[in-house]
Copies of this chain bind each other. A is one copy, B any other.
Amino acid sequence: MTKAAAATPHDHAHCIASALAQADTLCEQRGARLTKNRRRVLELVWQSHAPVGAYELLERLREDGLSAAPPTVYRALEFLMSQGLVHRIETRNAFVGCPQPQHEHEAQYLLCEACGDAVEIDVGGVRRRIEALAAQHGFTVTAQTIEARGLCRRCQPADA
């Protein structure tokens, strides 16, 4: 790990297992093919709650002894994102698993600059507010990126 451990201690094995199980179910339902590679990349993405770069995933794949090149990873990520199983963190050029892949959505994120964790949130109405204001400019919104950086609960300075 290049970053500190996950901000919130918890049964992370459960996070991983749950994410993979959901992915299996969803892809089954949708007739999408969660192939071995794709599933493995998803599992690697879920190794932590901190977004992970494509080339770090590539290293992990290679540690498996697999033959892998950048397109291997990027294709898998493209598929996983198309299925809503993974989101891209624009301000980090990195990827993180989605805990709520059942319903399609764009995620909003809190990104801890100390431990690296990404927390997906839903700031109710914010997207609609932005769409409404955009409309006043004659602008039709099709996608939004909302990412906040700062310090998570566990990484607050001690004098808080």
Give A residues with C-beta under 8 Å from B. 90-91, 108, 110, 112-113, 119, 121, 123, 125-126, 129-131, 133-134, 137-154, 156
Q: Is the CB of B140 within 8 A of A144?
A: no
Closest to A160 in B: B140
Q: Which of B129, B131, B137, B151 sits near A153, CB closer than 8 Å?
A: B137
Q: Is the CB of B152 within 8 A of A138?
A: yes
Q: Is the CB of A147 within 8 A of B144?
A: yes
Closest to A110 in B: B139
Given A137-B119, A137-B153, A153-B137, residue A142 in contact with residue B130 (CB < 8 A)? no
Q: Is the CB of B130 within 8 A of A129?
A: no
- Distance of A10 from chain B, by nearest CB (Å): 14
